[in-house]
Structure 1
Amino acid sequence: MNGHSFYKGDGKMGIKTDYKKIKVSVEGTVGWVSLNQPDRLNALQTDLMLEMAQALKELNREPDINIVVLKGEGRAFCSGGDIKSMLESNGEEHFQRMMEAASDVSMTLYSMDKLTISAIHGAAAGLGYSLALATDIIVAEEGSKLAMNFIGIGLVPDGGGHYFLKERIGASKAMQLIWAGDVMNGHEAQAVGLIDHVVAEGKVMAEVKALVQSYQARPLKAMLETKSILRRGQWRELKKVLEMEQEAQWRMRQTEDHQEGIRAFVGKRKPNFKGQ
């Protein structure tokens, strides 16, 4: 495994852990993946997503692991795509590389033959929220800020956001939610079916650990067979949505509204969109 492994408690050769932008650990049959750029609220850069894809694929290949938890270090789960990175490089090659990395993470999360859980505190916005939606179960603190807020900078969701929202709440409601770009707290998101469990502030990890313990006492092999039956036939649709999102994102990045949205975001003011 690229020459970097560690030994798990059972003495078997395990998973690469020496990443720069994420943290990976294994506890028994559970793999933990943490976004680890807390000074940037775990904003998603290409290098970080490439590390995520590699780590998730390694965990998926490990037969002893049956649950994978995705979480964020610091004050937030993930604030979304890195706006600073967008400003620094707007070239098509950089864009394609970033979008392909995001699509790889989403597809890997969605298709894993493990039970996957997102543990959300603070912000889960934009692409960060898309990645959370790619997991099987979402647990969020009541004060979390969950938003599919691409519209605020004149863009469309990526990372499979369209597909995952449609899967959870239907196409019409998904469209309205994307157009609004509203920020929801944990209770609001649960009420419309966008997360599965809401907990008090500071309690997300305790709840996730309790869920993990509960699932480990169930017939997980049978549960994962059900996941495979329901998900496998949808992989092609998700792949197509990811391709359409990538094409749409590039077109929208050329618009005046997107440029105005970015300027307004950086200037901390309300954007003046013109539909152009």
Structure 2
Amino acid sequence: MIEDFKSLVVRNEGPVLMVQLNSPETGNALSEMVLDELLTVLGVVSQQPGIRVVILSGAGDDFCLGADRREFAESLAADPTGRGLRVLGTKARQVCDALATTEAVTVARLHGGVIGAGIGLALFCDLRAGADNCRFRLPESALGVPPAWGGVLPRLIHEAGAARVRELILTASNFDAATARELSILHTVVPEDELDAAVARWTRPLVRRSPSALRTAKVMMNAYGNAHRLADATLFDAELLSSALSLGQQARQG
């Protein structure tokens, strides 16, 4: 497959590609480097029809603690207009789109903290298995930024329902794996030591399915899932996020 990534561990097991976020010292924060490397991997997957399943996981104690806020601050310090943040926002959307639209079935293997953009990354996977120690949070309102990462808001509303999502975003409250299962953010919840077995129960039959049948099913579900959207407002997510952070920075300095 591909080697020598700095922020990922990528391993091929026949028709299954294992992709692990590998920056545990940052809680696997989604930096620009991580986004670039995920885009590279998913680009290769699109060119290799032999890869039938992609399993996305995280190293260390957490799946992903969200976007790299330190990188946000550094980007704003270098360019207060927020241009660098718009680049990051565009890459985030590209990664999420690639997860949703790649012909391979994407599986999120979640444990520990799944926060902010980490929830977004998981949501764009087709199937999501979580350990019972998962803890979730959408902290954007508490941080003074809009929930505008990777086009996550409409995906979250579609998967979990507008009323509950409104509560989670406005209160920025923590919720556990059982609640995530109730909201369809997770499809299954198991003890952490059974997580690999739970993912394997999906993987084994998936690699035996007709590739064209799986591809068609994904295309149809994506099409029906977007049928109610007359316009895609998430195209403005990168602009919205960069503008909000840039104005916040200017207000603090003023």
Give the TM-score category using the shorter length.
0.7 to 0.9
- Are positions 1:98 and 2:93 aligned together? no
Give me the TM-score of the superposition, normalised by structure 2: 0.88
Counterpart residue type for residue 50 of structure 1: D
* Alpha-carbon distance in structure 2 between the residues aligned to 1:170 and 1:117: 21
CA drift of 1:27 comes to 0.6
User: Aligned-pair distance for 1:185?
Assistant: 1.3
For 1:240, the equivalent position in structure 2 comes to 232
**Counterparts of 1:238 and 1:89, CA distance in 2:** 33
Partner of 1:11: none
- Identify which of structures 1 and 2 has the higher relative contact order when contacts are C-alpha pairs closer than 8 Å and 6+ apart: 2
Which of residues 8, 19, 22 is equivalent to 2:5? 19
Distance 2:43 2:239 in 1: 26
Q: CA deviation at 1:89?
A: 2.4
Contact 1:252 1:258 in 2 (8 A): no
Equivalent residue number for residue 269 of structure 1: none
Rounded to whole Å, the distance in 2 between the matches of 1:193 and 1:258 is 39
Deviation of the 1:221 alpha carbon = 3.7
Would the alpha carbon gap of residues 204 and 147 (structure 1) be closer, same or farther in structure 2, given more than 3 Å must change?
Answer: same
Does structure 2 retain, via aligned residues, the 8 Å contact 1:111–1:232? no
The percentage of aligned residue pairs carrying the same residue is 24
SS, match of residue 192 in structure 2: coil
- Within a 5 Å distance, the mapping from 1:12-51 to structure 2 comes to 15-51=1-37
Larger CA deviation: 250-259 vs 23-32: 250-259
C-alpha change, 1:186 and 1:220, in structure 2 (3 Å) is farther
Mark the CA change 1:256 to 1:18 in structure 2 (over 3 Å): closer, same or farther. Answer: closer
Query: TM-score with structure 1 length normalisation?
Result: 0.81
Q: Which amino acid in 2 is paired with 1:171?
A: A
CA contact 1:21–1:36 (8 Å) conserved in 2: yes
Q: CA deviation at 1:200?
A: 0.7
Cα distance in 1 for residues equivalent to 2:229 and 2:88 = 21
Quick check: 199-208 or 141-150, which moved more? Answer: 199-208
- Distance in 1 of aligned mates of 2:203 and 2:236: 35
Which residue is 1:227 aligned to? 218
Deviation by residue 1:182-240 (Cα, 9 ceiling, x = unmatched): 22211111012211010113322221123211323445542331111121463995993
SS in 2 for 1:135: coil
d(CA) in 2 for partners of 1:135 and 1:200? Answer: 21
CA distance in 2, matches of 1:99, 1:43: 14
1:96–1:27 Cα change, 3 Å: same
Cα 1:51–1:101 shift into 2, 3 Å = same
In the alignment, the residues of structure 2 paired with residue 27 and residue 45 of structure 1 have an alpha-carbon distance, to the nearest angstrom, of 27
Q: How does 1:174-189 map to 2 (within 5 A)?
A: 174-189=165-180
Letter in 1 for 2:203: V
For residues 161-180 of structure 1, the aligned pairs below 5 Å read 161-180=152-171
2:196 maps to a residue whose letter is M
* Residue equivalent to 1:137: 127
Quote how far apart the aligned CAs of 1:259 are.
Answer: 7.7
Query: 1:209 maps to what in 2?
Result: 200
Aligned length: 246
Q: Which runs of 5+ in 2 are unaligned?
A: none
One-letter amino acid of the structure 2 residue matched with residue 24 of structure 1: V
The answer (yes or no) to whether the contact 2:159–2:183 under 8 Å persists in 1 is no
Q: 1:107 aligns with which of 90, 97, 121?
A: 97
Instruction: Structure 1: give runs of 5+ residues left out of the alignment.
Output: 1-14, 261-276
Aligned-pair CA distance for 1:117: 0.4
Paired with 2:227 and 2:144, the residues of 1 have a C-alpha distance of 28
Q: Residues 39 and 211 of structure 1: is their aligned pair in 2 closer, same or farther, counting only changes over 3 Å? A: same
- What corresponds to 1:263 in structure 2? none
Name the CA shift for 1:54/1:208 in 2 (closer, same or farther; >3 Å). Answer: same
**AA in 2 matched with 1:117:** V
